[in-house]
Amino acid sequence: MDANGEFDVNSLTPRYKQELQQFIQNETQKSKLQQSVHNLTDICWTKCVTGSIKSGKLDKSEETCARNCVDRFLDANFLVIKQLEGMRG
């Protein structure tokens, strides 16, 4: 660390730089996955849960709707990923 309490990445060995880069990539991927789960939850909850939950669980139609919503969301994401991979080469 320098006098300002900041860390100089350039002082790291190549091995540690690579480990740091991998760590940052992993954390970024986790963050993106969490954001995707939050988006999915928001979309499907808003679409499928239209009333109050009285019995501590979703009623049958809400549960079916939520399951289908998640399935379609995942299908769409996989399709987009497949298309992007096809464009890359």
Q: Is residue 52 part of a domain?
A: yes
Q: Tell me, what CATH number does 14's domain have?
A: 1.10.287.810
* DSSP letter string, 27-68: HHHHHHHHHHHHHHHHHHHHHH--S--SSSS--HHHHHHHHH
In tens digits, the chain (89 residues) has pLDDT values of: 555 667 777 888 889 989 999 999 999 999 998 998 999 999 999 999 988 888 888 899 999 999 999 999 899 989 999 998 988 87
Q: Is residue 80 part of a domain?
A: yes
Q: Is residue 1 part of a domain?
A: no
Q: Is residue 2 part of a domain?
A: no
Q: pTM (2 decimals)?
A: 0.61
Alpha carbon distances (Å) from 47 to 7, 28, 33, 60, 75? 47, 28, 21, 15, 17
Q: How many domains does the chain have?
A: 1
Q: Is residue 64 part of a domain?
A: yes
Q: Which domain holds residue 51?
A: 9-88
Q: Is residue 48 part of a domain?
A: yes
